[in-house]
Amino acid sequence: MTHIAVLGYGTVGSGVVEVLNTNRGSISLRGAGDISVKYILDVRDFSDSEYASLFVNDFSVIENDPDVRVVVETIGGSGVALEFTRRALAAGKSVVTSNKEIVAEYGDELLRTAGEKNLNYLFEASVGGGIPIIRPISQCLAANEIDEIYGILNGTTNYILTRMIKAGLSLDDALREAKELGYAEQNPAADVEGHDACRKICILSSLAFGKHIYPRQVPTEGILNVTLDDVQYAKSAGRCIKLLGRASRLPGGKVCAYVGPHLVSASNPIANVEDVFNGIVVKGNAIGEVMFYGRGAGKLPTASAVVADVIDAIKHISSRKLLSWDSADEALVGDSGCLESSYYIRCENGIDAAKEIFGGVQQLSRADAGENEHAFITSPMNLYELKKRVEQLKHSALVLSLMRTLD
Ligand code: HSE
């Protein structure tokens, strides 16, 4: 019997306790023996809960109990969650988390501490919810040079965009639904402004490229500027709008990452990843292209990944898993502006000027477009070339939207 503690009894934490209890029989057959939740830490009152006797609100009870071998951190944020993670590792307990904010900012430090103490710090649930992606990149694809990773990393924004595309809902109404369904972060700004996807692409690229890549090194744009007009224009071109996180190896060996909305071609499998689902494509020099798909948010899918890590941490209680990356190296990180893309532009007036400045464009149409409204897709170019031409276009047009495309 191995004792664990769960920090935070919110959506994910309560899901972890539920999965451990519901699947107790099958989990014990996975090689970790019986797992018992000895404590649940939460400052809120859960005296009505069937687990009321397990609740504590003082972390030192857990920290000082040698029976507790694994601590599950599902508090979120980087306040007490970071403090308790550090203290748990210092007290000789492995830590399992779904907290992408902490992994993206402090993964380097926490992995090093865990390594020095022969403990595990595992975070499968931090990216892609229930989708296995951390282990596949660090283990199953370990033979590859990873050239590129891109994907839909945020379930909330994918849900919102899907509802805009399929039901013509406004962004605000779709966000309200996502909150009601429990997909959005406590502060949904992290979802809609792209920070959540940014943290996730940082974690994936740190794993894939071997050095810590921080959110501050990743240009990030969310979905707040996406309108129903853009959605309709994209549809007319056989595309749909998706918020993508993308990390690429640049010619010369540097790597770059960014987050932003894209007009994705219907022929790309990512275009069919809808609702709260995530889809992640990994390109390796031996495997070619692989895609991971599944529920990227929600109580039980995320708990599924957390509990798998708990099982793994217990199975490797006295041997560290080879999950690690090195400290950041500023020289590794290149400029995502150098990546070439075709761009979607929506503007008022100036279509003749646009054709001249961009040397021919693919014009798009939509029902009920205003008389002077135009939208088009350019030929591929890097961001600096694009910005130069957009500045020229602004002499004749009011530029309303600008997004990368992905074929
Ligand atoms: N808010 C996140 C999302 C939760 O929507 O993807 C899972 O990380």
81-87 long-range Cβ contacts below 8 angstroms, 24+ apart = 81/7, 81/8, 82/106, 84/7, 84/41, 84/59, 85/110, 85/121, 86/110, 86/113, 87/59, 87/63
Report pLDDT for 321: 67
Say if strands 55-56 and 35-41 run parallel, antiparallel, or are unpaired.
parallel
Q: Indicate if ligand 1 lies below 6 Å from the C-beta of 196.
A: yes
Looking at the CA of residue 156, tell me the nearest atom of ligand 1: 5
Which positions are annotated as active-site residues?
Answer: 200
- Give SS3 for 130: coil
CA of 191 to the centre of ligand 1 (A): 7
Q: What is the DSSP string of 52-69?
A: GGGEES-HHHHHT-TTEE
List the chain residues with pLDDT less than 50: none
- Give SS3 for 37: strand
- Spatial separation of the C-alpha atoms in residues 152 and 318, rounded to whole Å: 36
Cα angle, residue 247 at apex, residues 246 and 250 outer, rounded to 5°: 130
CA of 167 to the centre of ligand 1 (A): 22
pTM: 0.96
Number of CB atoms found within 10 A of residue 243's CB: 26
3 state SS for 312-365 = HHHHCCCCCCCCCCECCCHHHECCHHHCCECEEEEEECCHHHHHHHCCCCEEEC
Looking at the CA of residue 200, tell me the nearest atom of ligand 1: 8
Q: Indicate if ligand 1 lies below 6 Å from the C-beta of 297.
A: yes
- Spatial separation of the C-alpha atoms in residues 34 and 13, rounded to whole Å: 19
- Spatial separation of the C-alpha atoms in residues 236 and 389, rounded to whole Å: 24
Q: Indicate if ligand 1 lies below 6 Å from the C-beta of 11.
A: no
Paired tokens of 362: 């693919």
Do the beta carbons of residue 30 and residue 94 sit within 8 Å?
no
Looking at the CA of residue 190, tell me the nearest atom of ligand 1: 1
- Give SS3 for 137: helix
CA of 185 to the centre of ligand 1 (A): 6
Do the beta carbons of residue 344 and residue 403 sit within 8 Å?
yes
Distance in angstroms between the alpha carbons of the first and the last residue of the chain: 51
Query: Which of 97, 123, 152, 156 to mutate to test ligand 1, by most ligand atoms within 8 A of the CB atom?
Result: 156
Report pLDDT for 249: 95
Q: What is the DSSP string of 139-178?
A: IITTTSPEEEEEEE--HHHHHHHHHHHHH---HHHHHHHH
Report pLDDT for 126: 98
